[in-house]
């Protein structure tokens, strides 16, 4: 009998973070397995990807429901069919209502493309560039009623380069997401990160290891940033 935690994934699009979780879960040592995928978008590429891997994938479209709460109730019921221990949001582009969040409290996690609490919501990369931040990144957090506000489980930082636009910065963050999400899910699946009240409590070997909860730009990446900044400054200095 498998001791791996059962994981259901919610997505709305291509599902690249789901693929990262699937890749991690292919290892016999990984503490979780993906048992089902659900989308609100029938054309989501992630559904086809899951089915091609032999994973049950279903769609619960918004159309036909009288309210967001009614749709979320149907989503929660469909999730229950997978009997998951953990629900992972991976690009699920729909704000969840309080009822579904409460039903899965402490068992639902999300990945967000910023270093929360900075830049919750949409267009995070554009907003980061507009603010002129030098460091950007991604966060995995427990889902709570307030969007992108739950207790943080793990974060990854990447440098913002002077030549970046929203697309190049977004791709760098996405690469970090694909590394971070499996790490964070592993912590939750092993019981090394859990929700208690309004904070994340860490325990065990993984929970006490900062490298399992945060990774940052390498010295080489930051040196490149500094070199580029100096070159840029030299062009405009008399």
DSSP 3-state percent helix, strand, coil across the chain (nearest 5): 40, 25, 40
Q: Check if 112 is active-site.
A: yes
What's the rounded Cα separation, in Å, for the pair 99 and 76?
9
What's the rounded Cα separation, in Å, for the pair 38 and 57?
6
* Residue ranges at the known binding site for (6R)-10-formyltetrahydrofolate: 68, 110
Contact call for residues 31 and 4 (beta carbons, < 8 A): yes
Active-site residue, selected from the candidate residues 71, 112, 125, 136: 112
Contact call for residues 88 and 10 (beta carbons, < 8 A): yes
What's the rounded Cα separation, in Å, for the pair 189 and 106?
11
Contact call for residues 32 and 41 (beta carbons, < 8 A): no
* Residue ranges at the known binding site: 15-17, 68, 110
Residues labelled catalytic = 112
């Amino acid at each position: 009998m498998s001791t791996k935690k059962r994981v259901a994934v919610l997505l709305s699009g291509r599902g690249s973070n789901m693929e990262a979780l699937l890749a991690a879960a292919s290892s016999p040592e990984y503490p979780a397995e993906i048992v089902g995928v659900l989308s609100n978008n029938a054309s989501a590429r992630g559904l086809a990807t899951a089915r091609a891997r032999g994973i049950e994938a279903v769609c619960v479209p918004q159309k036909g429901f009288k309210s967001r709460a009614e749709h979320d109730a149907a989503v929660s019921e469909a999730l229950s069919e997978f009997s998951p221990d953990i629900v992972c949001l991976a690009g699920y582009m729909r704000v969840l209502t309080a009822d579904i969040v409460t039903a899965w409290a402490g068992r639902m996690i999300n990945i967000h493309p910023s270093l929360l609490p900075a830049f919750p919501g949409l267009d995070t990369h554009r907003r980061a560039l507009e603010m002129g931040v030098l460091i950007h990144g991604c966060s995995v957090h427990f889902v709570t009623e307030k969007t992108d506000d739950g207790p943080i489980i793990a974060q990854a930082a990447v440098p913002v380069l002077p030549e970046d636009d929203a697309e190049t910065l977004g791709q760098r963050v996405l690469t970090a997401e694909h590394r971070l999400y499996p790490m964070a899910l592993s912590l939750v699946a092993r019981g090394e990160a859990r929700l208690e009240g309004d904070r994340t409590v860490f325990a065990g070997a993984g929970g006490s290891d900062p490298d399992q909860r945060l990774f940052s730009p390498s010295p080489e990446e930051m040196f490149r940033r500094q070199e580029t900044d100096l070159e840029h400054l030299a062009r405009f200095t008399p």
